[in-house]
Structure 1
Amino acid sequence: MKARPEVPSPEQRQQCALTQYKKVLTCAGGVERLASGSDDFTLFLWEPSRDKKPIARLTGHQQLVNDVKFSPDTRIIASASFDKSIRLWSGLTGKFLGVLRGHVTGVYQIAWSADSRLLVSGSKDSTLKVWSVATRKMEIDLPGHADEVFTVDWSPDGQRVVSGGKDKVLKIIVQKPNAITD
């Protein structure tokens, strides 16, 4: 029987979060950025410590924006929309970089792999898809759910994708190490 991993104390979790925040801030050139999505089909890029007004308005989605995530290295913003697409933007300027298409209905949620190379998306169409950010192509069509997929995430080691859906099922999908390459 495997030993259970030690649960970190609240102080250890706080220190880990602070270390991660400092790492992200360093990657972003020392400037804290925030991205927000809206039901008016737009996103805004903010630098809250510098100005109360957004530094960029990002347009291109044709329906409401459900989810917005910075890549762990802060270089790219991904946005998911009911228009069936995932759009990629520069995390520095907000410039449009590309679009990922493959879902047949709205995309509810996205999650970045820890190395910022891959995105996983969950959709109203009950599917899960893994995307290469470098090639802008779908790499893997994962086993989906019996109904809409509401939440997705990666394990910290990038070996598993976790999803939950309207079917009340939690899926943990194991990936082969290095199975996905750019």
Structure 2
Amino acid sequence: GPQLDVPVETTAKELALILNKLLASDEVLPYSFYVGGEEVATTLGAALGDASVEQVLEVTYVPQAVFRVKSVTRCTSTLAGHADAILHVTFSPDGRHLATGSGDATVRLWDLTTETPRFTLRGHGDWVLCTAWSPDGRMLATGGKDGTLFVWDAVRGRAAGPGLSGHRKFLTALSWEPMHSNARCELLASASKDLLIKLWNWRTGRCLHQLSGHTASVTCLRWGGQGLIYSGSQDRTVKVWVAAHGTLARSLEGHGHWVNCLAVSTDHALRCGTFDHRGRDLSRGRGAVGAVGMADAAAADAAEEATARVAAS
């Protein structure tokens, strides 16, 4: 083939660029280069050794393996089905399913393994604004613009009972009692634009407590692992409630504007405690035992640090 004059100071990287240009490659590929069996690790001159630079030398190239790693930000699939904007999405605790609430007044459950719709849940009379899975992943709570709360059987794809009415305005947030506190997963809290938080037993349909104290819309809600409920509001406060009695424990002030989201330091333990880290399905009893263990460990960590932390923004 044709000969090519290159300086002895040419590096292996520069040789690869020259070769890719000669081969008219669509993308720059990596190569290793050898002169007389000696790899060009740094420069061509270093690999020549005592060989004369005045003579024609044969440089051999060997393609290197290319490891292609797809970006984690790529779109893996598009789930089509809703007839209006999707307003809220939540993954199930085991990560196998997705719930979506929409402006078309329906809730859809999706199987993420097959990336196909599983159930379409109808019952709301207006937009579905918030969704929340029960700790065991068997039930799904949804709140709508019509002020109604529904609890759905996520396994069978049907309503677990009639809608729970009581709020005068649209729902803004939902939160379930942690599994280590109640393995039956029958209590949950709902927050609304009407300034109120309600604690429900969805099995009986009864409102157990009504928490009032916020002076503006309640925007976010967390049922913590130590019997406390945390709520953030447009009144710029975070309030801490005793779930068992429905009483205010303390009010945290300091924000200069609306409190839009909350995070509790025990969130990870409460979310993951009921699920086996090897992906095995646990019975409700074993799941509750796992949840208690995780919650106890989190409580021990909090005691060691003398506090459990709450973050709000």
Question: Could you state the TM-score of these two structures normalised by the residue count of structure 2?
Answer: 0.39
How far apart, in 1, do the equivalents of 2:102 and 2:198 lie?
23
Map 1:7-18; keep pairs closer than 5 Å.
none
2:147–2:165 contact (8 Å) kept in structure 1:
no
Residue by residue over 1:51-101, the C-alpha shift from the partner in whole angstroms, topping out at 9 and shown as x without a partner, is 432110011111111111110011110100111011111122421112000
Aligned with 2:176 (options 150, 154, 165) = 154
CA RMSD of aligned residues (A): 2.0
Q: Match of 2:192, as an amino acid?
A: G
> Does the alignment pair 1:96 with 2:123?
no
- Find the structure with the greater CA-based Rg: 2
> Does the alignment pair 1:62 with 2:67?
no
Extract structure 1 runs of 4+ deviating beyond 4 A: none
TM-fit CA distance, 1:176: 5.1
Indicate the larger mover: 121-130 or 154-163.
154-163
Which protein, 1 or 2, shows the higher relative CO under an 8 Å CA cutoff with sep ≥ 6?
A: 1
Alignment coverage as a number of residue pairs: 130
Q: Call closer, same or farther: CA 1:68–1:80 in 2, change over 3 Å.
A: same
> Does the alignment pair 1:53 with 2:74?
yes
How many percent of aligned residue pairs carry the same amino acid?
33
Higher strand share: 1
| SS at 1:142 equivalent | coil
2:91–2:98 contact (8 Å) kept in structure 1:
yes
Partner of 2:138: 117
Residue by residue over 1:151-174, the C-alpha shift from the partner in whole angstroms, topping out at 9 and shown as x without a partner, is 112111323110011111110113
TM-fit CA distance, 1:139: 1.1
How far apart, in 2, do the equivalents of 1:85 and 1:128 lie?
13
Partner of 2:280: none
Residue ranges of structure 2 left out of the alignment (5+ in a row): 1-69, 180-184, 205-313
1:56–1:93 contact (8 Å) kept in structure 2:
no
Q: Match of 1:146, as an amino acid?
A: R
Map 1:1-182; keep pairs closer than 5 Å.
50-140=71-161, 141-157=163-179, 158-175=185-202
Indicate the larger mover: 152-161 or 82-91.
152-161
Residue by residue over 1:111-170, the C-alpha shift from the partner in whole angstroms, topping out at 9 and shown as x without a partner, is 000111100000001100100012211112223311111111211132311001111111
How far apart, in 2, do the equivalents of 1:75 and 1:57 lie?
16
